[in-house]
Amino acid sequence: MSQALVVGHSADASLHRLAPWFAEYGLDTRIMFGADGLPQSLDGYDALIVLGGAPLPDDDEHYPWLPATRKLIGEALERQIPMLGICLGGQLLAYTAGGHVERSKFQPEHGMTGIEATRTAATDSLFRVMPREYIMAENHIDHITMLPDNAVLLARSRRTPVQAFRIGPCAWGLQFHPEISQADIERWSALQRTNTEADGFSWSHIVEYGRRVSRGNTADARRLACRFAAICTHQDEENDR
């Protein structure tokens, strides 16, 4: 099987539902918590996946593994190794390539959220399997406020101008969380729920709406995950299940 290095920013980092979907297409994953140390290079890996977390991309003082993470991202870009950055991972990709990320610049997003693809997404090797509109999980107050000059915008939402983008032929950044299901959201801690309500969201609405859209969300997240795995394992066929 091909193998992806997965960088996590908390000790309980997880790919959740993505891991079994990746495995269907022959992509195995190895999760490493940044604080435990990261490899010096991507030698031996077929892909890089960087998960979400609390810091801004340059908060090296409190998260001292961020420079090593950015180095691996730079290597993936240089060597054209497929990469998927999720939430903070996407912000790290944008920042490493010359973009800007800011805290509380725009309104926050929590729970299942409508995403709109750009026209360019229809010809992107990953996002062409996605519908024009879809729903994904969100949980962020930080935003990419400026993409690098060489980035291609692939999706946006009502509150967030950058929901997905690509740099080079095979490095994708996401603000949304395809790994998170509605069941995962409903397992959020009491503190997370309190924070969402402090940001102006109704927890009961997050639960009710999320349950209504869960089936479509699962289908679209699976479609995206399987297509990424197919790219990493050099399988030519598209997955549109």
238 a catalytic residue: no
Q: Name the DSSP letter for residue 235.
A: -
Annotated catalytic residue, options 87, 170, 226, 232:
87
Alpha carbon separation from 214 to 19, 89, 217, 225 (Å, rounded): 19, 24, 5, 16
Q: Are strands 151-156 and 27-33 parallel, antiparallel or unpaired?
A: unpaired
170 a catalytic residue: no
Cβ atoms 113, 135 nearer than 8 A: yes
Annotated catalytic residue, options 75, 177, 226, 232:
177
179 a catalytic residue: yes
Q: Cα 199 vs. chain centroid, distance in angstroms? A: 22
Written as one string, the DSSP assignment of 63-114 is -TTHHHHHHHHHHHHHHT--EEEETHHHHHHHHHTT-EEEESSS--EEEEEE
Cβ atoms within 10 Å, residue 103:
12
Annotated catalytic residue, options 75, 109, 138, 179:
179
Which two structure tokens, joined as six digits, stand for 233?
Answer: 């394992």
The residues that are catalytic are 87, 177, 179
